[in-house]
Amino acid sequence: MPSLWQDMLTMKRYLALSITMSLACQGEGDIYHDQVPSPQAVNDLSVREHTEQVILENGRAQWEFQINSKTQSFSLYVDGLNDAEYLITELESPDGVFVRSEATSQEAASGLGLAAAPFFSANRSVGDHGGTSILVPNNPRLKITQGMWQATLQSTQSTEHTVKITRLEQRASGRPASIRIPLNIHLSGAGGIRHNRAGSHPRMRRALSQLETIFSRVNIDLEPIRFFEISPDFQIIEDVTLQNEQGLNLLRSAEDGQGINLFIIERFEGDDVVLGTIGGVSAAIPGDPRSGGRFSGVVVATSFSEDEPETDLLGLTIAHEIGHFLGLFHTEEATGFKDNIEDTNSDTPSNLMHHLSRLGFDQLTDQQGMVLRSHPAGQMP
């Protein structure tokens, strides 16, 4: 089977498309709240894990799963074959369609192929190598309704094979107003930052201070912060997709690190033909809060900017990639594609999730905060 959504595989980091257009996300059925639910102070936040095996035949599989009455959000993580691509092309709740496989004529003209409809769906879905992931909801107005849900997974591998699907459900009495997320920082010695002295290193302290300021605005505490040593062989990463053997070994090197696993390297090998110098990457949108998987981490390069207090972008780059890891897409791509969050659709050039990384681009909206707090990495404050 030919590649169905090759252009979409880079959506977790950037868009490399030649057209410019803006399409409203569409859904079918009564899937939206009349108003965005108000976040609540909760004392019963927990995450439940469910794992099942699903067989794909002719590159396609459907499965059903039950959502609990206390589930506020959930993430699906598909672990498949290394040389195949995967995309959740349909997702339906008891109220209606969250992800759809049929594109409008305008979407079909976008050049995204079979990936167009999932990308422009009410709950955005994008594909990846070796598996895929999705956070539901990644639009805070969508309802998470108790009952039976149905999903469809497609792959470029037509031979019958089995994949593992993990569902992580965030359960609480309401959508949480505040959370805590552990941050595990894995250091290769890049930039002179070593694990045994990282807490006192001026550049690392500056970056952590920026992270605290940015995420505290949306009531997220990154704590505890722990430092780990990894091999200096990881200072230069050959493949920015992280899907070659070196990249996967880097992600798997986090042996005990639930939460966000951040890997600090020197640089990515070579420049991208579209992006030029690359500062960082999230292994997926959303990333996996469990350690050791192909989607379990954020990788940021120290060489992306100079180690000067007035111009250093290290902290902003880390924050931006953590935003991707926790489920946010770019507010607007260079091509004109916008995200599916209502309060970012105005002119917000200073937003942290703008496709450019610049000093002062450090703001997050209320609804972006709700998406971030929906990620299963979140714990009770």
pLDDT in tens, 331-379: 987 777 889 999 996 566 799 998 887 888 999 999 999 999 999 999 9
Residues 149, 256 within the same domain = no
Is residue 21 over pLDDT 90?
A: no
Three-state DSSP state, 295:
coil
Give the model's pLDDT for residue 338.
87
Residues 331, 190 within the same domain = yes
34-58 pLDDT, tens per residue? 999 999 999 999 999 999 999 999 9
Three-state DSSP state, 302:
helix
In this prediction the pTM is: 0.93
- Phi and psi dihedrals of 377, rounded to 5? -70, -20
- Do 277 and 313 meet the contact criterion of CB atoms below 8 Å apart? no
Q: Which helix (H) or strand (E) holds 128?
A: strand 128-129
Give residue 276's pLDDT band: very low, low, confident or very high (50, 70, 90). low
The boundaries of the domain holding residue 62 are: 6-171
Give the model's pLDDT for residue 348.
65
Residues 204, 123 within the same domain = no
Last residue of a domain, one of 122, 142, 171: 171
Give the model's pLDDT for residue 319.
98
CA distance 224 to 191: 23
Least-confidence region, from 120-129, 141-150, 163-172, 303-312:
303-312
- Phi and psi dihedrals of 109, rounded to 5? -80, 0
Residues 167, 184 within the same domain = no
Give the model's pLDDT for residue 272.
52
> 361 in a domain, yes or no?
yes
Interval 208-229 mean pLDDT = 97
The two structure tokens encoding residue 244: 């070659």
Interval 8-28 mean pLDDT = 40
> 90 in a domain, yes or no?
yes
> 1 in a domain, yes or no?
no
Residues 102, 221 within the same domain = no
Give the model's pLDDT for residue 29.
77
Residues 83, 188 within the same domain = no
| Nearest one of 29, 4, 34 to 119, comparing CA atoms | 4
| Nearest one of 140, 145, 182 to 370, comparing CA atoms | 140
Q: Following CA atoms 99, 104, 109, 113 in sequence, which dihedral angle do they give, to the nearest 10 degrees?
A: 40
Residue whose pair of structure tokens reads 């003209």 in the numeric block: 109
Interval 268-294 mean pLDDT = 83
Least-confidence region, from 6-10, 17-21, 143-147, 357-361:
17-21
C-alpha distance from residue 86 to each of 9, 56, 133, 246 (Å)? 9, 11, 9, 21
Highest mean pLDDT: which of 12-16, 113-117, 342-346?
113-117
Give residue 149's pLDDT band: very low, low, confident or very high (50, 70, 90). very high
- Do 250 and 297 meet the contact criterion of CB atoms below 8 Å apart? yes
CATH of the domain at 244: 3.40.390.10
Provide the percentage of residues in the chain whose pLDDT is more than 70. 90
Q: Following CA atoms 342, 345, 346, 349 in sequence, which dihedral angle do they give, to the nearest 10 degrees?
A: 130
Three-state DSSP state, 38:
coil
> 380 in a domain, yes or no?
no
Provide the percentage of residues in the chain whose pLDDT is more than 90. 79
Give the model's pLDDT for residue 274.
47
Give residue 12's pLDDT band: very low, low, confident or very high (50, 70, 90). very low
> 343 in a domain, yes or no?
yes
Give residue 256's pLDDT band: very low, low, confident or very high (50, 70, 90). confident
Q: Which amino acid is at 21?
A: M
Residues 281, 357 within the same domain = yes
67-101 pLDDT, tens per residue? 999 999 999 999 999 999 999 999 999 999 999 99
Domain count, the chain: 2
Residues 353, 216 within the same domain = yes
Is residue 273 over pLDDT 80?
A: no
CA distance 266 to 333: 26
Give the model's pLDDT for residue 107.
87
> 381 in a domain, yes or no?
no
> 280 in a domain, yes or no?
yes
CA distance 196 to 255: 18
Is residue 4 over pLDDT 50?
A: no
Give residue 5's pLDDT band: very low, low, confident or very high (50, 70, 90). very low
Three-state DSSP state, 168:
strand
Interval 207-230 mean pLDDT = 97
CATH of the domain at 154: 2.60.120.380
Q: Bigger pLDDT: 350 or 275?
A: 350
Interval 246-268 mean pLDDT = 94
| Nearest one of 117, 135, 257 to 186, comparing CA atoms | 257
What's the residue count for the chain?
Answer: 381
Is residue 3 over pLDDT 50?
A: no
Residues 24, 73 within the same domain = yes
